Amino acid sequence: MKEERIARVEALPLRYAEPNNNGKTRHVTLVRIESAGGAVGWGEAITGSEDASIATRVIVDRGFAERLIGRNPQDVEAIWSEFRETTYWSGNGGIVTFAISAIDMALWDLAGRIAGLPVHRLLGGKRRERVRAASSIIFDTGNLDGLGRQFADLKSRGYGVLKGGWGHDLSIAFGRDPKRDVAIVRTMREAVGDDAEIIVDVVAGAGWTASHAITMARAFEPYRLYWLEDALPEGDAAGWQRLREATATPLCTGEKGWTVPHFRGLVDNGALDVVMIDPGRAEGVTGTKKVIDLAADAGASWNAHSWSSALNTAASLHLAAASPNVLVLELKPEPSPMQNDIVTDPIVMQDGWIVVRDTPGLGVTVDEASVRKYVFA
Ligand SMILES: [Mg+2]
């Protein structure tokens, strides 16, 4: 059994240009964990910025790595509890939680590979053979005609759920101008027809109050949103309740949350229809599973918000497969370095759906030479 013990831990900060965001530079930090027998598991933290990516590597290299050496990767949830309890001062969110998220994801991958089982089986079993895909794009808010053509094209490619949000130009992003916001929603609906679901995502910092959110949700009602995302700050519990009472439009938030207790607050508020979450940010596969279960118990759905690398997408796919209450898994519709280059078997949409994988671990094959081309620090 000695060959199952963890022998090596490495953190790799990556930089890439995202074609789905007009080529803008983004960052992630991957964690690679190798057993003495040579099995390898991979995890991801969706760090976003250069500084956070390097800081996450420091937390792994100087802190968690030596505590993992010699441990059995199948003790993944025990390690998760120990790491978050012993970092209560510096953690419970932020960079330490990025590190725990990536480590936890890598441990689930490694545990599955050692056991010869897909992660969804370790999570309790597969409840579905496929998960509905949502194409997820950033709006070109300055070009409504182009935006309409883009949504019509995505629908014709097979997507039955289509989301847009924010804006390539943040100064005119979705959420900043009521007239333009309504025009965008109308354009989306007209582009895809009645036979598709549409979702809009309000830019962070738009500053909507509950009253404004109610006004906007009512203006959007004729166009039948699948959900309205991030209409209010996550902490505005009273605002979410007012919004819920004033509109029939489903409400979603969660991408700014880090920890299980934070998500419990969102679920307990009762105003949300959909909680969105990323294992590469919110305490790994272990933390995300707990949030999914909280939401399921409360009668809420969850969205696999995944918009980063193939590892977060793969982890989300297994969590979705094992859960009773997933709505969709978000995909970047255009090929992207982190989705298509760093693995040899990227996760793709087929006829509007994503097929669940039964191969061991996370079920994606990392191309290490490709990963190392993106390492910047
Ligand atoms: Mg969002």
Res. 3 pLDDT band, cuts 50 70 90: confident
The predicted model gives 191-219 an average pLDDT of 98
Ligand 1 midpoint to CA 254 (Å): 8
Ligand 1 midpoint to CA 256 (Å): 9
Residue 112 in domain:
yes
Identify whether residues 96 and 126 lie together within a single domain. no
Mean pLDDT over each residue of the chain, to the nearest integer: 97
Identify whether residues 110 and 88 lie together within a single domain. yes
Residue 109 in domain:
yes
Ligand 1 midpoint to CA 168 (Å): 14
**pLDDT score, position 216:** 98
Ligand 1 midpoint to CA 65 (Å): 32
Ligand 1 midpoint to CA 165 (Å): 7
Which tens digits make up the pLDDT trace of 154-182? 999 999 999 999 999 999 999 999 999 99
**pLDDT score, position 1:** 60
Ligand 1 midpoint to CA 96 (Å): 22
Ligand 1 midpoint to CA 61 (Å): 31
Ligand 1 midpoint to CA 231 (Å): 10
* Buried residues in 58-96 as b, exposed as e (16+ CB within 10 A): ebbeebbbeebeebbbbebbebbeebbeebeeebbeebb
Ligand 1 midpoint to CA 326 (Å): 17
Ligand 1 midpoint to CA 136 (Å): 9
Identify whether residues 110 and 125 lie together within a single domain. no
Identify whether residues 110 and 149 lie together within a single domain. no
Ligand 1 midpoint to CA 201 (Å): 5
Identify whether residues 162 and 275 lie together within a single domain. yes
CA–CA gap between residue 49 and residue 53 (Å, rounded): 6
User: What is the domain range of residue 42?
Assistant: 2-116+368-373
Residue 7 in domain:
yes
Identify whether residues 176 and 109 lie together within a single domain. no
Residue 363 in domain:
no
The structure tokens 């883009």 sit at: 150
Overall domain count for the chain:
2
**pLDDT score, position 48:** 97
Ligand 1 midpoint to CA 230 (Å): 7
Identify whether residues 99 and 200 lie together within a single domain. no
Identify whether residues 109 and 188 lie together within a single domain. no
* Burial of 355 from C-beta contacts in 10 A (0-12 / 13-18 / 19+): middle
The predicted model gives 281-289 an average pLDDT of 98
Identify whether residues 157 and 205 lie together within a single domain. yes
Ligand 1 midpoint to CA 163 (Å): 9
Ligand 1 midpoint to CA 166 (Å): 8
User: Domain of 237: which CATH number?
Assistant: 3.20.20.120
For residue 16, give both structure tokens.
């890439």
Which tens digits make up the pLDDT trace of 300-345? 999 999 999 999 999 999 999 999 999 999 999 999 999 999 999 9
* Burial of 230 from C-beta contacts in 10 A (0-12 / 13-18 / 19+): buried
Indicate whether 111 pLDDT > 80: yes
Identify whether residues 281 and 168 lie together within a single domain. yes
**pLDDT score, position 287:** 98
The predicted model gives 282-290 an average pLDDT of 98
The structure tokens 């910025």 sit at: 49
> How many CA atoms within 13 Å lie on the side-chain side of 200?
29
Residue 362 in domain:
no
CA–CA gap between residue 166 and residue 172 (Å, rounded): 9
Ligand 1 midpoint to CA 282 (Å): 15
Identify whether residues 329 and 281 lie together within a single domain. yes
Residue 360 in domain:
no
Provide the β-strand partners of residue 199: 163, 227
Identify whether residues 85 and 216 lie together within a single domain. no
The pTM of this model reads 0.97
**pLDDT score, position 338:** 97
User: Domain of 48: which CATH number?
Assistant: 3.30.390.10
Which tens digits make up the pLDDT trace of 232-242? 999 999 999 99
Ligand 1 midpoint to CA 51 (Å): 22
Residue 161 in domain:
yes
Ligand 1 midpoint to CA 223 (Å): 19
Ligand 1 midpoint to CA 167 (Å): 11
Ligand 1 midpoint to CA 245 (Å): 22
